[in-house]
Amino acid sequence: MIYSAKVMEHFANPRNVGELADANGIGEVGNAKCGDIMKIYLKIENDTIVDVRFKTFGCGAAIATSSMATELIKGKPLSEALKLTNKAVVEALDGLPPVKIHCSVLSEQAIKAAIADYYTRLGIDPTPFVGKLDSEEEHEHGCACDCDE
């Protein structure tokens, strides 16, 4: 499988790895078929993501998409972070092989789940902001990977 230089760079030197002890929004999503699990930690102040970290268990593309997604939302207002699409993550990485697109979907879902968690912690229904979060079962059809590579 051929990956872009940006994918390889974010896999070899991922940004924003780890946990945030003072995170006030945490989202975890996974794909049972291929085993990718992404956990995103957000530190939000005044509706802006002031810090973000991630822990991902999965293939190189999963790690690269997590890294790039955190770079794309760091310092951004929640309204802008919620507009981040998996397509934007793929474009920022100069593309992904078709069988790895699901990794970018997981990164988008993990960010939305973390923002939903933030609103829930504030006692606010996250649905008007985040929308309905996809369940793992709804996502699984998109996984055509062999994540043992």
Which of the following is catalytic: 34, 59, 143, 147?
34
Please report the pLDDT score of residue 130 as a whole number.
93
Give the structural domain span for 50: 5-124
By three-state DSSP, how is residue 52 classified? strand
- Looking at residues 49-64, what average pLDDT do you find? 95
Which of the following is catalytic: 103, 143, 145, 147?
103
**C-alpha angle 143-146-149 in degrees, rounded to nearest 5:** 140
Q: What is the CATH number of the domain that holds 18?
A: 3.90.1010.10
Q: Has 147 been annotated as catalytic?
A: no
Is the model's pLDDT at 77 over the cut of 70?
A: yes
**Domain for residue 133, yes or no?**
no
DSSP 90-123: HHHTT---GGGHHHHHHHHHHHHHHHHHHHHHTT
Please report the pLDDT score of residue 34 as a whole number.
72
In this predicted model, what pLDDT tens digit does every residue of 87-104 receive, in sequence order? 999 999 999 999 999 899
Count of domains forming the chain: 1
**Domain for residue 109, yes or no?**
yes
**Domain for residue 57, yes or no?**
yes
**Domain for residue 47, yes or no?**
yes
**Domain for residue 146, yes or no?**
no
Please report the pLDDT score of residue 135 as a whole number.
56
Q: Has 145 been annotated as catalytic?
A: no
Please report the pLDDT score of residue 146 as a whole number.
47
Is the model's pLDDT at 145 over the cut of 60?
A: no
